């Protein structure tokens, strides 16, 4: 598990993800089946791609692509990631101005808690009208395809979540 707390660190990690995606795309099926799953978790899906784009503009040369390679890597991970055992989890709604609009369609599961009807229509329109949002902690709706499932989710502090992820990565869970 690795954590990147700065825009520069996130940028570098995503650029390296491009190399890993390409490497995994060329693995034979039997080797890919043994490759560990990679989970790319982006907090603030609304702001991070914008910060990455602005960061790229600070040192982009005239001949460099206009789109940040980190944003391109995130987009590529959304398109091909599951095929090569790389999964993307976004917290929040990614803006279509940075990530392509089609990227929204690539999420097999949307989890919504304390949502407005507008948020529901933007993120889960295929599931029909918005159900009543619960004010109780740990209540959520999981949307898959055209069905919304009310469910209960884990509540953890950041420290508890980090400990759980570390233990899981180490095979202790």
Both 87 and 29 in one domain: the answer is yes
pLDDT of residue 4: 80
Specify the pLDDT at position 98: 56
pTM here is: 0.70
User: Are residues 5 and 39 located together in one domain of the fold?
Assistant: yes
Whether residues 86 and 135 fall in one domain = no
Look at residue 87 in the predicted model and tell me its pLDDT: 86
| pLDDT at 101 (0 to 100) | 56
19 and 75 fall within a common domain: yes
Task: Indicate if the alpha-carbon torsion angle 1, 113, 159, 92 is positive or negative.
Answer: positive
Domain count, the chain: 2
Q: Which residue has the higher pLDDT, 65 or 161?
A: 65
pLDDT digits (tens, 9 = 90+) for 147-160: 999 999 888 888 89
Inter-axis angle of helices 69-80 and 48-59, nearest 10: 140
Same domain, 99 and 60: yes
The per-residue pLDDT of the chain, averaged, comes to: 84
Residues 66 and 39 in one domain: yes
More confident residue, 13 or 91: 13
Region 64-77: mean pLDDT is 90
- The answer on 115 and 95 residing in a single domain is no
Instruction: Tell me how far apart the alpha carbons of residues 101 and 63 are, in angstroms, rounded to a whole number.
Output: 26
Strands (E), 11-153: 38-42, 86-90, 109-112, 139-144, 147-152
- Among 58, 92, 107, the domain boundary falls at 107
77 has pLDDT over 70:
yes
Asked if 44 and 127 sit in the same domain, the reply is no
| 25 & 67 share domain | yes
d(CA 107, CA 145): 10
**Per-residue pLDDT reduced to its tens digit, 21-44:** 999 999 999 999 999 998 888 877
What average pLDDT does this structure show over 79-103? Answer: 73
Same domain, yes or no: 10 and 95: yes
Q: State the pLDDT at residue 103.
A: 62
151 and 84 in a single domain? The answer is no
- Looking at the fold, whether 138 and 84 belong to one and the same domain comes out as no
Last residue in a domain, options 107, 122, 144? 107
Per the structure, the complete domain to which residue 62 belongs is given by 1-107
Strand order in the sheet with 147-152: 109-112, 139-144, 147-152
Range of weakest confidence among 59-63, 95-99, 125-129: 95-99
Last residue in a domain, options 107, 138, 163: 107
């Amino acid at each position: 598990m690795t954590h990147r707390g700065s825009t520069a660190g996130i940028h570098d990690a995503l650029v390296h993800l491009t190399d890993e995606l390409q490497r995994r795309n060329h693995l034979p099926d039997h080797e890919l089946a043994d490759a560990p799953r990679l989970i790319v978790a982006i907090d603030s899906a609304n702001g991070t791609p914008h910060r990455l784009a602005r960061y790229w503009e600070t040192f982009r040369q005239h001949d460099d692509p206009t789109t940040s390679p980190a944003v391109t890597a995130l987009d590529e991970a959304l398109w091909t990631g599951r095929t090569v055992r790389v999964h993307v989890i976004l917290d929040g709604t990614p803006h279509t101005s940075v990530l392509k609009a089609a990227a929204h369609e690539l999420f097999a599961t949307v989890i919504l808690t304390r949502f407005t009807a507008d948020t529901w229509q933007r993120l889960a329109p295929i599931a029909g009208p918005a159900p009543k949002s619960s004010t109780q902690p740990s209540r959520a709706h999981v949307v898959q395809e055209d069905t919304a499932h009310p469910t209960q989710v884990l509540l953890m502090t950041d420290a508890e979540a980090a400990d759980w992820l570390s233990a899981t990565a180490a095979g202790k869970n």
